[in-house]
Amino acid sequence: MTMSCCSAQTDLNALDYVEAAGFARYSLVTTDPECELPLPPATVQALEDLLGTDLRQVIARY
């Protein structure tokens, strides 16, 4: 993408966000109130291995 402020080329994942942010084709959501957040690294790794892709954990509370 081209930044409107300076015409620099970048992608959305390279920008520095104040809070964690993500742009995705899909999302995984837990609604279990007892689920430990953020997910432990071993759990994230197991999900990445299962899905065959890297994941970014974004904790959102609305």
Q: What is the structure's pLDDT at 62? A: 63
Question: Would you list the domain boundaries of the chain?
Answer: 25-62
Nearest by Cα to 37 from 60, 13, 17, 55 = 60
Which of 16-20, 24-28, 31-35, 57-61 holds the top average pLDDT?
Answer: 31-35
pTM: 0.60
Using pLDDT thresholds of 50, 70 and 90, give the confidence band for residue 50.
very high
pLDDT digits (tens, 9 = 90+) for 4-29: 888 989 887 787 877 777 677 778 88
47 in Cβ contact with 28 (< 8 Å): yes
